[in-house]
Amino acid sequence: MKDHRFEEARKRVTKKKKFYKHLGSFIIVNVFLFLLNIFTSPSHFWFIYPMLGWGMGLMGHYYEAFGFPGMRGEEADWEQREIEKEMHRLNGGDSEEDQLELRELEKRPQKKWRDEDLV
Please state the φ and ψ torsions of residue 100, each to the nearest 5 degrees: -100, 140
Query: What's the rounded Cα separation, in Å, for the pair 8 and 80?
Result: 11
Q: What confidence score (pLDDT) does residue 95 get?
A: 46
Write out the H or E segment, with its range, that includes residue 53.
helix 48-66
7-44 pLDDT tens trace: 888 888 999 999 999 999 999 999 999 999 999 999 99
Measured CA to CA, the distance from residue 87 to residue 90 in angstroms comes to 5
Tens of pLDDT, residue by residue over 53-73, are 999 999 999 999 888 776 655
Q: What is the pTM of this model?
A: 0.56
Question: How many other CB atoms are found less than 10 A from the CB of residue 47?
Answer: 19
- Asked if residue 82 has pLDDT above 80, the reply is no
